[in-house]
Chains A and B, each alone.
Chain A
């Protein structure tokens, strides 16, 4: 065993800041769940007993479960085109996905709201072409929330899928074809299983991101689509109820942690970092 070298001191500023300004405060917040207003598990009993908390937690899970497959299904063809199209096309697609990815979530959510509002672009378009007579309610409901989430989360699926697809040896598909598999079967039996690590990574990223979303449900969703992060904000800003806020944070964090652990078990984090 060689001695620890002096470069370890370079870690000090970052780890100190992380401990004082992140781990400490988050630990403090989670501890409120068991100590506020008095020691015990009463906050978790409240989460279980009050229908509003259960409903919001169920809602959050449901919305994540709806958003994830939509994003994967829409991201798949884009990643496929990126991985197997010409170099020129790939550059354009990467640029196309990166530009919105780098634009603030708030700006994109606001932009989506403009498209979806009652007299917004989509409704004017549909009425102008005579598809509908009355504007469709697209904003401040489930439709608006889903549109916002899908829009913002597409890159989270496209990039991991692309990196999985780019590593697939094209000779494999040719081999399947030579051995007599029709294209569709070769795709389902050979290609699709090889993209699975990318699908799992993308889907997990989308799912856990959606679980914690605040801006999109607050801006594009309605009162009936309230999500956990909004509830946490409400508990602190409106009621000063740090106990319930801590308990909700713990539940949200546990759900995120369990999903990441599952991903680590099935795909491995090394794979994700590639």
Chain B
């Protein structure tokens, strides 16, 4: 720090900056911490601080068929939709970045649209079109919707990883006589694998959390966790919701840690 920059005139600003950072930190984290604590409450209402601790809301959660059923539906939904989106998105990103495709920037922009268009519009549109096809209230309908919503994240993540990789490595393999598929499998894929796995994780999280399309397309029988939470929230809040929210939070937190580990591995390999 130079003597000029650290003169006393800056001190109040530094204090203000620190205070605002602490305020933002509290705003971002306190809700999550409070929900975690309340989920272990022994009281039948969302009281804070809780009068005592218990696991009764977790027991209730895991013994209520509606919640268990919705957890199952969520898994049946997020596994295929995240895998499909990852395969389709990786293939598309590879073609757009490495292939000589006319209008590649335009196609890329179109593939990003599901992020830009507000969720309510996508949800209403799918609901409307599904009515004629009998897809509302089916797992297939949900999987199709979630795959489309996940696609942009996969394409963006994999495309940016491909742009960083040296295309000449593939060219060298091809020159040495490797067929295109072998070049992809032995050279390209290992290089971008961390990005592909990272986008698979993102897709899983997004699918698990997605509410608006699920709200329109699901039914009482095929109802993912997010919709089950929503319908409970419209009634009375009770600590079961805090328990399921904590489960969701834990799931996201673990996936984030896995993703950070993947990214750390990737940057190590680059240097």
Which residues of chain A have a CB within 8 Å of any CB of chain B?
A: 2-11, 13-15, 17-18, 21-26, 28-29, 32, 74-75, 77-78, 80-81, 93, 96-100, 102-108, 110-115, 117, 119-121, 124, 150-151, 154, 173-174, 177-178, 182-184, 208, 211-212, 214-215, 219, 229, 232-233, 236, 242, 245, 249, 252-253, 256, 260, 273
Chain A residues positioned under 8 Å from B35 (CB to CB): 107, 110-111, 114
> How many Å lie between the Cα of A55 and that of B200 in the bound state?
41
Which residues of chain B (185-240) have a CB below 8 Å from chain A? Answer: 205, 208-209, 211-212, 226, 229-230, 233, 237
> How many Å lie between the Cα of A232 and that of B7 in the bound state?
55
Chain A residues positioned under 8 Å from B118 (CB to CB): 211-212, 214, 229, 252-253, 256
| Interchain Cβ contacts under 8 Å between A and B, 13 examples | A7-B101, A10-B95, A13-B88, A14-B111, A17-B88, A25-B122, A74-B24, A77-B21, A78-B24, A102-B205, A212-B118, A245-B124, A260-B116
Chain B residues positioned under 8 Å from A154 (CB to CB): 24, 27-28
Chain A residues positioned under 8 Å from B155 (CB to CB): 14
Most A CB within 10 A of own CB, among B4, B88, B101, B120:
B120
Task: Tell whether B62 is near chain A: CB-to-CB under 8 Å.
Answer: no
Chain B residues positioned under 8 Å from A2 (CB to CB): 100
Q: How far is the CB of B208 from chain A (nearest CB, A)?
A: 7
Chain B residues positioned under 8 Å from A5 (CB to CB): 99-100
Most B CB within 10 A of own CB, among A18, A32, A112:
A18
Chain B residues positioned under 8 Å from A3 (CB to CB): 100
- Knowing A99-B256, A115-B30 touch, does A18 contact B151 (C-beta < 8 A)? yes
Q: Sorted from nearest, which 4 A-B pairs have the closest CB atoms?
A: A212-B118, A111-B31, A104-B209, A7-B99
Q: How far is the CB of B5 from chain A (nearest CB, A)?
A: 6
Which one, B53-61, B63-71, B245-253, is touching chain A? B245-253
> How many Å lie between the Cα of A26 and that of B28 in the bound state?
34
